[in-house]
A = this chain, B = another copy of it.
Amino acid sequence: MTTTDWLEELRSERSDLGRASTAGRVADVLRTRITEGHLRPGTRLSEEDIGAALGVSRNTLREAFRLLGHERLLVHEFNRGVFVRRLTVDDVRDLYQVRRILECGAVRRLAERRASDSPPAGRTAELLAPVRAAVEEGESAAAQDAWVSVGTANMHFHQAVADLAQSPRVTEVMDHLLAELRLVFHVMDAPQAFHATYLPENRAILELLVAGDLAGAEAAIATYLDAAEAQLVEAYAAAAARG
């Protein structure tokens, strides 16, 4: 426990301190409202109404809107207002396209790093710890029939896979992608069942990773994503057809 250790700890907490911004907190509130489905896609967010409801000025609310707009949860149409994003089927396809590149790419980079130089075998297990944690989180949630938790655990799993790239920017992009995807899940009749379907696959991918079969893991992720995309696109078309 040297002095620098203390400083490092404090440094990591500094980001939490910075969250004091009002606009940031407003954005947090709206974000959860959106991702949890209380605000349906297409809904228009009136500056005046929401500003009054949350007790913040229009200017501050606008800053919050910008934040969420860049996360693609809101769309800002000039002189018309902001709306909860309504994703098209093409958006869904694109989201999975990027996920294929990112998640598979993360595993691939891991493989290249191991092949070349820097892989103390112990560190691999340490690196996979978040993945394992997410898998177990999902399984135990399913065992308790906590279906919403299964959904978030699934998100954690894929976030953990992307984090294998050990790249802050990949992490951030992935975070935004998953937030967007949450907009989509609400169109499904039974999102719980949808997520539960993939629990065994998560476990299988984890096993491949720990076994060191990175090419196999990459392939498994790819087919995983293809299947999920197909399922979502179908559900999306059905939802669009009936209204």
Give residues of chain A (166-210) contacting chain B, Cβ–Cβ below 8 Å.
166-170, 173, 177
CA distance A62 to B165 in the complex (A): 34
- On whether the beta carbons of A101 and B102 are closer than 8 Å, the reply is yes
Please give, as numbers and ranges, the residues of chain B lying within 8 Å of A66 by CB-CB distance.
63, 66-67, 70
A21 at the interface (CB under 8 A from B): yes
Interchain CB contact under 8 A, A167 and B106? no
Q: Could you tell me if B173 and A94 are in contact, using CB atoms closer than 8 angstroms?
A: no
**0/1 interface trace, chain A 73-103, chain B, CB 8 Å (1 if under):** 0000110000000000000001101101110
- Nearest CB in chain B: distance from A177 CB, A: 8
Contact flags A45-73 to B (C-beta < 8 A → 1, else 0): 00000000000000100110011001000
The residue in chain B whose Cβ has the minimal distance to the Cβ of A90 is: B168
Chain B, Cβ-Cβ closest to A72: B169
A4 to B104 Cα, complex, angstroms: 38
Q: Is the CB of B94 within 8 A of A105?
A: no
| Minimum C-beta distance from A102 to chain B (A) | 7
A40 within 8 A of B: no
Report whether A21 and B78 are in contact in the complex, using a CB–CB cutoff of 8 Å: yes
- Whether A20 sits at the interface, judged by CB under 8 Å, is yes
A165 contacts across to B, CB distance below 8 A: 97-98, 101
